[in-house]
Amino acid sequence: MAKHTMLRAKELKDDEFYTCYNEVEKELNQYAKYFKGKVIYCNCDDHYGIGKGTPKSNFIKYFADNFEAFGIKKVIATHYEKSKKSTMYILDKDNTGDGIICSEDIEEIPLRENGDFRSAECVELLQQADIVITNPPFSLFREYIAQLIEYNKKFIIIGNKNAIAYKEVFPLIKNNKVWLGYNSPCHFIYNNKLTKKVNGLTRWFTNLLTTRRNEKLETGKTYYNYENMYPKYDNFDAINVNKTSDIPMDYDGIIGVPITFLDKYNPNQFEIIGMGTGDTAKELGISKNYRGRTDLSITVDGISSCPYNRLLIRKKKDN
């Protein structure tokens, strides 16, 4: 049910999915060392829910809970209002005088505009930030990530898994300017209700170094003498692999893998050549398949099919 809810919301361009606290905590705890002395901007986050004092954004709550422990310099949060001026929330000092900096010290400051992340007012706040962390509108993800790249910002954000294949996003991944975080968030709040088991639909995207970027993949699988396990595509010189764990470590040619490979991707071990669909497929010279489309196709036991969203990778030399 939750999966269908999110898919339907995506079709309707409904961006009102709020991230659960445990999902925020599970991911952001991995980056704690980056937060010391930094200005953090949550530019798609409303502090108050139903009734003043009720946190709506668990990003704000998380940073308020850990402000002193992480040594954060300042937290800024803004959110979009459709038909009125919005509000900015700032946490940077002990306003209550109780000796600690926490959620009770958050200041509310009226904005001149509606809080759209693209507004001049919010861009000015963006320029002050060291790291941007939020769950942006999925329907505006292309524009959102383009802005972060334009202003050279570090970030940790949530996006739809399919954003990997966007023509505006894939080149960033291919050129190691953006990569996946540690987890796949699956718990969201929608219409004030917990939406569970949104498995595999969303990912964390970041440009902060993660420990897994240095982990070498070792599958123990080999290509030679097991060629029948790795059929070649009909319309491109590459072998097909259905699971990352089945990548043959002795094969030096191009390999088509599912996009879940990005969870294990080490840029020092592999290079990303392109994708088996869309513009990059045409650029690579992938010819039209049996359906007349420029997508990778494969024939096994006389049955032709098109594997879903294949990344094309190649092992780097000396690995």
Domains observed in the chain: 2-209 (3.40.50), 227-315 (no CATH)
DSSP letter for 216, please: P
Q: How confident is the model at residue 308 (pLDDT cuts 50, 70, 90)?
A: confident
Q: How confident is the model at residue 196 (pLDDT cuts 50, 70, 90)?
A: low
User: Contact 284/236 with Cβ under 8 angstroms?
Assistant: yes
Which tokens sit at 18? 């709020």
Q: How confident is the model at residue 204 (pLDDT cuts 50, 70, 90)?
A: very high
Which tokens sit at 100? 């600690």
User: Contact 275/248 with Cβ under 8 angstroms?
Assistant: no
Q: How confident is the model at residue 155 (pLDDT cuts 50, 70, 90)?
A: very high
Return the residue matching tokens 């659960």: 20
Within its chain, how far is the Cα of 76 from the centroid? 21
Average pLDDT over residues 109-137: 96
Residue type at position 166? Y
Starting at the edge strand found earlier in the chain, the sheet holding 188-190 runs 17-19, 188-190, 193-195
**Rounded mean pLDDT of the chain?**
88
Segment 31-55, tens digit of pLDDT: 999 999 999 999 998 765 433 444 4
* Position 311 pLDDT exceeds 60: yes
For the chain, how far is it from start to end, CA to CA, in angstroms?
Answer: 44
Return the residue matching tokens 């961006």: 15
Burial class (CB in 10 A: 0-12, 13-18, 19+), 120: exposed
User: Contact 9/100 with Cβ under 8 angstroms?
Assistant: no
Segment 163-193, tens digit of pLDDT: 999 999 999 999 999 999 999 888 777 766 6
Instruction: Give SS3 for 209.
Output: coil
* Position 223 pLDDT exceeds 80: yes
Starting at the edge strand found earlier in the chain, the sheet holding 154-160 runs 107-110, 87-91, 74-78, 39-42, 131-134, 154-160, 202-206, 179-180
* Position 198 pLDDT exceeds 50: yes
Of 160, 233, 169, 225, nearest to 9 (Cα)? 160
Segment 75-122, tens digit of pLDDT: 999 999 989 999 999 999 999 999 999 989 999 999 999 999 999 999
pLDDT at 96: 93
pLDDT at 317: 85
